[in-house]
Chain A
Amino acid sequence: MGIKNFLTNIFKYEPKEPYDFSIINDKNEQVLEKDSLENNNIYNNLSVNLDYIKTRYNILINSDIILREFTLTARGKQYNAFILFIDGMVDSNIINDFVLESLMLKNKSNLYNGNENRVISEAITNNITVRKVKRFDLVDFIYNSLIPQNNVKIVSTFDEIIAGVNSGNCALFIDTIDKAFNIDVKGFKQRSVSTPNNEVVIKGPQEAFVESIRTNTSLLRRIINNENLVIESLNIGKISKTYCAVCYMHNIANSNLVAEVKFRLNNLSIDSLLSSGQLLYLIYVNSQFGIPQILSTERPDKCTKYLMQGRVIVLVNGNPYALIMPATLIDFMSSPEDTNLKVLFGNFLKSLRFIAAFLTLLLPGIYIAVTSFHQEILPTELLFSILAARQFVPFPIIFELLVMEISFELIREAGLRVPSPVGPTIGIVGALILGDAAVNANIVSPILIIIVAITGIASFAIPDFSFGFHLRVFRFFFIILGFTAGFLGIGLGIFIYISMLCNLSSFGVPYTVPFAPTGDSKKNGYFIPPIWKQEYRASYLSPKKEKSQDKVSRKWKKDI
């Protein structure tokens, strides 16, 4: 029996059921557009206002919107009221000391019960007293006496008040009045936001996420500036209970996609979550071959760009990297720089990166395949230079190549780990000792140094670090394949690699869209059109709002 079990264990083959999730494009799902809310004016009934605000801000799921209900005392009377603000964008001390305290706590000013009507002027003629009386006005009273704040505006529409809240103000609603107070309480108490270190762009914003999740959400809020941005919070990890935030645009992101992300995040049975890098691997469908399927970035502007396309962002407390999902192949090849440059230059850079990816993956493999099997493809003079360079080298090409590739990786790794003052030394040692001396000692041929160097440089031109890493690891497979069977091996390798890419899907989005399966990507392919031509959001994300701008976005041009 034991033998039988043993044999079945070894030989029984049970294919795994593939985890299948695809985004369903639900056309019936109606987006509650702002325009469809007919009344924009603030009601005089507090509970109506409250409901309105709750719907508008998705208070039930949004984690950083704070709505505080309380009882306000004015002239000895009590009114129900609430304040609304976004955590992370306001200075809570100001709110506590100068808004809540003065309104809530009973003190001299709010207990003062003067005349109902204030007499402004009085004139007596013929025993008839003519009094110019101003009726008591609660709004005026609160504005004038109860909010010791320098910048307060009284507004009467929801749009105005919401714009204020989005920019970091505090809104005060009071029962019985159809006005709201827009109180300036902007302020940040966290450590200052620094420039991004690892994703540098030339033309573009220079701020990066920090460790505090609240600061990060406020960074997003400040750029997006819209109440449809939902930031939900959840805790991951049985012990650590790490605070995470799921951010998406309520009116753009496909609700299937959002539900799937939340489903995966909520069903993680782990003790602790320490970084977004760990989370990345916990929510992959299959992490085989290390192809990254989730984009991670430290740039808020990149995040907002993807948010506006209808993707979901996950922030992890204590980690300055945000995860963007779903991500496709072209996302790993594009840099936030692309949209900031002119179209021609952006696309030129993109094609350059494509060549870089090709070189990183295949150049060493092709070199070994060509020198081992297909020398006829080399131009004659080049062939003889390679031969001449190799004539004193004792090792076979494969050995030479592997030695150089591995030492290159060593230099890279050592340069990363070394304390920064010694950093340049590594470069010198690497370049001089390994490059020049190895050639002089006839251990490697100079041509090979060029190959390895080009591969190394090309791998650093890939904007996404993890994708570049993946390519660098995979080139070793291609080296072995090229060594084994020349172009036959390389061809098979490419075929398997392409099939593998086509097999992947990141949160229901095929990894290789829009190339395969070909679909109308609505100008969201690898090469981007000018910004005024990007009328649609990528259709593979099935966003709720397909159009991102009007047919003619440059209206000024039409009007002439």
Chain B
Amino acid sequence: MDKIKLSNFEAISSILIITISHSILTLPKTIISSTGAASILNIIYVSFIAFVVVLLISKLLKKFPGLDIIDISELLGGKVLKVVVGVMFLIYITFISSVLLRTFANCLQIVYYPMTDLIFIISLFIIGVAIACHFNFDSVFRSNTLIIPIVILSIIFLFIANTKHFNFSNIFPIFGSGIDATFITGASNIFAFGGIAFLYLLPSKLKNSNQFKKLSIISIAISSVYLLLTIASILFMFNPMSFTNELLPLYSAVRYIEFGTFFQRLDSVFLLIWILSFCCYLGTAINFSMSTFKKITNIKNSKLIIFPFVLVILACSLVPKDESITIFLESTVYKYAFLIFIIAFCLLLLFAANLKRRKE
């Protein structure tokens, strides 16, 4: 399964897909409601931090060419640490996948399938993705590279088509909810770059791992541009001061698009594209967790555990009782899980491994 390695473009798109699928959901709302009119400033600032973090990661990983964080933790603390880190990654990926899936399915239910039970919408996703994952390891990554350009184009289209509704002065007052909110607490918005989590797992899958630094920087650059477009189109359309909480901010923005009297109401086309990107995201997440699982258990054929794994995601996504919990999980818990686990813990781990390597 790991025989086939990822090319650069596939790796970049697998990192991008997380930011993209998250931004379809409540990500823009979370950012805008925390920083108000200063969101664009905040995104630029946060992208800068993300760049620093990624540079740090690639510098730390440089000593271990071709090894991902699971291998490194084995070097550092033996089998125990390897299993601990692997399980933590598994939990993290399962958690965000199921939360995002739940939110997305919720929105679909509201918009198109009012009479259908949530479990069927979610399991339809689950089955589709499970089938796709049963193909070769790289087929999901390859389809990422086909679908992501479409998604990015659709966002650019959205931005351009909605320009006439834009109110560019919405970026004022320039510091929005205050300087603190923008630059100090706002720094936590780095969780928008969820793809950093996959960066740790990526090196062992790359065709040419010496290009890790280059491709991680490219992927962060593209996702920051993408985020900027998304946030800008929402910020300019809806006044941040009275930002009414909308379930799918991008969807609300899409509903305003019209060209003449014929091309109106294009929202279902956008939803179709987003469903595609969401499937890609799930496929990528499952593939990553599968290879992690394979590493910590030495299982021979990881395709065996696809079905148990997707069932776990299905079960987890059905746990939240109502939407307030899902939104809380998605915007708050996810944020702190990302900050504590991905940024703090994993970086510390890498530091420790580097120190150990130096001593040796």
Q: Which of B41-49, B168-176, B263-271, B327-335 contacts A (4 or more CB under 8 A)?
A: B263-271
Q: Residue of A at shortest CB range from B261? A: A379
Per the CB 8 Å criterion, the residue count for chain A at the interface is 35
- Judge if A498 is at the interface, Cβ distance under 8 Å: yes
B358 at the interface (CB under 8 A from A): no
Q: Mark A488-506, 1 if CB is under 8 A from B, else 0.
A: 1111111110111111000
For residue A296, give the distance in angstroms from its CB to the closest CB of chain B: 25
Find chain A residues with CB under 8 A from B146 CB: 498, 502, 512, 515-516
B138 to chain A minimum Cβ distance, whole angstroms, is 7
| Nearest CB in chain B to that of A379: its residue | B262
Partner of A499, one of B108, B139, B265, B271: B139
A377 to B267, CA, bound (A): 8
Interface residues of B in 274-315 (CB under 8 A from A): 275-276, 279-280, 283, 301, 303-304
Q: Is chain B's interface secondary structure helix, strand, loop, or mixed overall?
A: helix
- Identify A502's interface contact among B138, B266, B303, CB under 8 A: B138
Q: For the complex, what is the distance from the CA of A373 to the CA of B10, rounded to whole Å? A: 34
- Tell whether, in the assembled complex, residue B139 and residue A15 are in contact, meaning their CB atoms are under 8 Å apart: no
Residue B154 at the chain A interface, CB threshold 8 Å: no
Which of B108, B142, B303 sits near A15, CB closer than 8 Å?
Answer: B303
Question: Is the pair B143, A491 in contact by a Cβ cutoff of 8 Å?
Answer: no
B residues in contact with A20, CB < 8 Å? 3
Please report the number of residue pairs spanning A and B whose Cβ atoms sit closer than 8 angstroms.
Answer: 111
Contact status of A15 and B301, CB under 8 A, knowing A492-B275, A499-B143, A512-B146: yes
- Interface residue? B147 (CB, 8 A): yes
**Bound complex: CA A364 to CA B310 (Å):** 31
Question: Residues of B within 8 Å of A, CB-based: how many?
Answer: 43
Q: With a CB–CB cut-off of 8 A, which chain A residues contact B124?
A: 485, 488-489, 492
CA distance A379 to B262 in the complex (A): 6
Digitize A471-490: 1 where CB-to-B-CB distance is under 8 Å, 0 elsewhere.
00000000000000111111
Q: A492 to B125, Cβ gap below 8 A?
A: yes
**Complex Cα gap A201–B301 (Å):** 49
Tell whether, in the assembled complex, residue B271 and residue A13 are in contact, meaning their CB atoms are under 8 Å apart: no
Is B264 a contact partner of A516 (Cβ separation < 8 A)?
A: no
Measured in the bound complex, the distance between the Cα atoms of B204 and A9 in whole Å is 36
Q: With A487-B272, A488-B121, A500-B139 in contact, is A517–B7 under 8 Å at CB?
A: yes
Which stretch in B22-30, B127-135, B190-198, B232-240 binds the other chain? Answer: B127-135
Say yes or no: is A374 at the interface (Cβ < 8 Å to chain B). yes
Alpha-carbon distance between A510 and B261 when the two chains are bound, in angstroms: 43
**Chain A residues closer than 8 Å to B276, beta-carbon distance:** 491, 494-495
Which residues of A have CB within 8 Å of B283? 495, 499
Is residue B163 within 8 Å, beta carbon to beta carbon, of the partner chain?
no
Identity of the chain A residue whose Cβ is nearest the Cβ of B1 in the assembled complex: A18
Describe A's contact surface by its main secondary structure: helix
A494: which B residues are within 8 A, CB to CB? 276
- CB-CB under 8 A from A485, the residues of chain B are 113, 121, 124
Is residue A519 within 8 Å, beta carbon to beta carbon, of the partner chain?
Answer: yes
Chain B 128-187 residues near chain A, CB threshold 8 A: 128-129, 131-132, 134-136, 138-140, 142-143, 145-147
The residue on B at minimum CB distance from A366 is B272
Residues of A contacting B275 with CB < 8 Å?
487-488, 491-492, 495
Q: Quick check: is A376 within 8 A (CB to CB) of the other chain? A: yes
- The answer to whether the Cβ of B9 comes within 8 Å of any Cβ in the partner chain is yes
Q: Is the CB of A376 within 8 A of B143?
A: no
Assembly CA distance A494 to B143 (angstroms):
10
Residues 9-28 of chain B, each 1 if its beta carbon lies under 8 Å from chain A, else 0: 11000000000000000000
Q: Which B residues are in CB contact (< 8 Å) with A516?
A: 10, 142-143, 145-146
In chain A, positions 362-409 with a C-beta closer than 8 Å to chain B are 370, 373-374, 376-377, 379
Q: Which of B135, B266, B271 has the most CB of A within 10 A?
A: B135
Q: A502 near B147 (CB under 8 angstroms)?
A: no
**Neighbouring A residues of B121 by C-beta, 8 Å:** 485, 488
Q: Is the CB of B142 within 8 A of A517?
A: yes
CB distance from B197 to the nearest CB of A (A): 22
**Most chain A C-beta atoms within 10 Å of own C-beta, residue among B3, B136, B138:** B136
- Distance to closest chain A CB from B277 (angstroms): 9
B135 touches A502 (CB 8 A): yes
A377 B136 Cβ-Cβ under 8 A: no
Q: Are A499 and B132 in contact (CB under 8 A)?
A: yes
Q: How far is the CA of A13 from the CA of B300 in the complex (A)?
A: 13
Interface residue? A518 (CB, 8 A): yes
Task: List 23 contacting pairs A-B, 8 Å CB cutoff, sorted by A.
Answer: A15-B304, A376-B265, A376-B268, A377-B265, A485-B113, A487-B112, A488-B108, A488-B112, A491-B272, A491-B275, A493-B128, A495-B128, A495-B275, A495-B280, A496-B132, A498-B143, A499-B139, A499-B143, A502-B142, A515-B146, A517-B142, A518-B9, A518-B145
